[in-house]
Structure 1
Amino acid sequence: MYNKLFSYFIILSGLFACTERPEKDEDQALKAIIDSAFIFAEKQSMLMAEKYKDQDGRFPRTYENGQDVSSDSRWWCSGFFPGSLWYIYENSQNPELLTYAKLYTDRVEREKYTTDNHDVGFMIYCSFGNGYRLTGNKDYEEVMLTAAKSLSTRYRPQVGLIRSWDHNTEHWQYPVIIDNIMNLELLLWAATHSGDTTFREIALSHADKTMEHHFRPDYSSFHVVSYDTISGTPHLKQTHQGLSDESSWSRGQAWGLYGYTYLYRETKNERYLQQARHIADYLINHRNMPEDYIPYWDYDSPDIPNTYRDVSAAAIMASALVELSDYTDKDHTSPYRQVAEVQIKTLASPNYTASLGENGCFILKHSVGAYPLQSEVNVPLTYADYYYLEALTRLKKRI
């Protein structure tokens, strides 16, 4: 890992800073990159907000083949664009941004009643959660508590997990995807704000069984684990959006890292911290991790290096590593923080950041939704922008 970091920092030196400058100067250079990234993100996202403001109930989804692709609130990504606006508003305090953040957040509200999929956590916590964090709006609190109750209906005690999907029943009895670890944050928030410990019990049961059954000995993870509804044990383990069942689909690995990092924050349970560290070390030291730490869509793709990167995986990973660096000993804190900084500097470069008004007004380029399904390949995605902005916000607060 250290050799990889050293070589890449030499490359970055010509672009961003001399490697022998004092640490304070390096921090100032990084702060300038972050500030510039936020200035661009505000301009680009305002263009996006204006584009969709009169399209009632619509959200940006991606930009493909020169065409805008949008969704309504039912799409699992509906909370990410309003969440992005909240992060940009947090940085700039632009009142026009606040107006747009409220507008697009309100468009998601009906999803507080969603019980037919697990993504209500993404939908509501990224939008209303950030809005509540920044404004304290009591109406937002009600939305999140209602959404937490809706999400809880997908939990079955005899299995001990929240069911992810209801389709493909000829193969899956009770499918749980690694992405689902991200939705537990809404439940933990609800437990704190309602006093109902059931939310916490559900979240921790899901986290523990995921840790037990989703991960391989090397701390890579499967994408889908389907459980027998009677015994509550796995009957099938697969990687639906990755190369193969035994491969390491990059975004799935990032979800796991992010999930166990915030689980430690919320519980202070050492087993979650150790899990997050193991996942981080697996990713950082992976033989196919590029020197700039922008992962390929699957770490085991036979076409590496001549295949697609997944910027969304990098953004999620960067945000998680910035936080994880706060919770680890000195030997781990520095490498985690350094990797995140490399990722953020790289994402902020023209290689991955769009030009103003281009890329469908998304911030970042080159994400991959589901390569085996040929869905959203090498396109911008709302969750890549969201976690990039979160990573920028987190890092800026720590400089």
Structure 2
Amino acid sequence: MDIKSETLTKHDSFLNEFNASDVLTKISNKYKDLAAKTKIDSTHIPRTIKEDGSLKGVNSRDWTSGFFSGMLWYLYEYSKYPELKSEAIEITSFVEKEQYNGVTHDMGFKIGSSVGNGYRLMNDIHYKDILVKSAETLITRFNPTVGCIRSWDHSDDKWGYPVIIDNMMNLELLFEAYKLTGNKKFYDVALSHADVTMKNHFRKDNSSYHVIDYNPVNGNVVKKNTHQGYSHESIWARGQAWGLYGYTLMYRETKDVKYLEQANKIAALIFKHENMPNDLIPYWDYLAPNLYEQPRDVSAAAITASALLELQGYITNDKLKKEYTENAKKIIEILSSDQFSEKRNEYFILNQSTGSFPSNSEVNVPLVYADYYFVEALLRLIKINN
């Protein structure tokens, strides 16, 4: 939702070797041209592609529905193209009704990326009201006995009160509502969720489970699963990225050093893992068998790069700060190469993301959230350069 440019610091000339502005200009022009010749309706918001390469769109209830307009807001912020602003406003309007949807924990993904960026750039009171209402709706899913916001409502035969690592990303919306209203209930729920997640989601090596199931009556942990990973004890790549980003934003909003330490631990797990490829684009699960035959997950790489560029701004150790920035820049450069460019469908930028390998769903395809965090990372890199 917030690029937090004030936390990004310039320190090394190597950043100038890669021109992120050229890449973002090209992307901005692509979507300006696309807006002029195509029309997106409220039931076909871009998410991914079908087997034949055609667009697979979704309506607002899908957890990814806010990312396309959020990406357009970022591109408008950079380019100032009025066509992108108009398109962002229209597609954001498709998602606004989700502010009342109490059966989803994905409110931050839907509303934060779309309405949140719109409010940040336009200061429109209409968007402000939606952000606050969305946060109000989200905290109805909070169980104080568990101390977390419930994630999924489905699969009651598997989980009684599931909480997924992805949910860390939705806490940003609660902090925004706290700043807009002064009501500390939003802040307190975010802290509780982050603290309980930090206690129960992470293994001794600082890798994360995907799902923790709680007893909603007494708050006890019932089981620990990795639903979208290779096995329950494996290391699902995107889950690690969500955790890194989530605890980085927790430090931003609270300045509590325990969250900074957690983010650093996750970063160390990611980049020191023996199965991280040299190009830093992870396989979908670090412990999947026959690893070099497995698909990559570009979305995990894009989320990680963006998180690192914020995290480095909070680091006082020059060596670690440089390491984070160099790793992020390397990921962005690799993702900007032809190897990871989506060529089948004009609505997307990157290919080779993996949604849910165990379900054989969205494997080696473009995914809108990969593009969103890639564009966010490019913007953050440009702010460092400038």
Same fold (TM over 0.5): yes
Instruction: Give the shorter-chain TM-score range.
Output: over 0.9
Within 5 A, what are the aligned runs for 1:1-399? Answer: 24=13, 26-30=14-18, 32=19, 34-46=20-32, 48-49=34-35, 53-65=39-51, 66-328=53-315, 329-355=317-343, 358-399=344-385
Change (3 A) 1:48 1:214: farther
Preserved CA contact (<8 Å) 2:340 2:350: yes
Q: Which has the higher contact order (CA 8 A, sep 6+)?
A: 2
Q: Secondary structure at the match of 2:251?
A: helix
Q: CA deviation at 1:48?
A: 4.9
Shift of 1:49: 4.0
Deviation of the 1:361 alpha carbon:
2.4
The alpha carbon displacement at 1:46 in A equals 3.5
1:163 partner letter: R
Q: Is the 8 A contact 2:119 2:128 kept in 1?
A: yes
Describe the shift of the 1:54–1:84 C-alpha distance in structure 2 as closer, same or farther (beyond 3 A): closer
8 Å CA contact retained: 1:224, 1:238: yes
RMSD over aligned Cα atoms: 1.4
TM-score if structure 2 supplies the norm length? Answer: 0.94
Is 1:82–1:104's contact at 8 Å kept on the other side of the alignment? yes
Q: Any gaps of 5 or more consecutive residues in structure 2?
A: 1-10
Give me the whole-angstrom Cα distance separating, in 2, the residues matched to 1:225 and 1:27.
39
SS at match of 1:338: helix
- Structure 2 distance, partners of 1:398, 1:333, is 12
Normalising by structure 1, what TM-score? 0.91
Letter in 2 for 1:83: G
Cα distance 1:257–1:118, how it changes in 2: closer, same or farther (>3 A)?
A: same
With over 3 angstroms needed to count, the CA separation of the structure-2 counterparts of 1:303 and 1:45, relative to structure 1, is farther
Are 1:63 and 1:360, in contact at CA under 8 Å, matched by a contact in 2?
no
One-letter amino acid matched to 2:297: D
Match for 2:257: what amino acid? E
Aligned-partner residue type, residue 190 of structure 1: A
CA 1:322–1:75 in 2, change beyond 3 Å: closer, same or farther? same
| 1:163-217: CA deviation from partner (whole Å, max 9, x where unpaired) | 0011111221100000000000000111111011000000000000000000001
Q: Secondary structure at the match of 2:292?
A: coil
What is the Cα deviation at residue 360 of structure 1? 4.1
Is contact 2:32–2:81 with CA below 8 Å preserved after alignment?
no
SS in 1 for 2:87: helix
> 2: CA distance between counterparts of 1:167 and 1:49?
36
SS at match of 1:107: helix
C-alpha change, 1:142 and 1:187, in structure 2 (3 Å) is: same
CA deviations 1:205-231 (Å, max 9, x no partner) are 000000000000111000000001122
Q: Contact 1:45–1:362 (CA<8 Å) still a contact in 2?
A: no
Structure 1 gap segments, 5+ residues each:
1-21
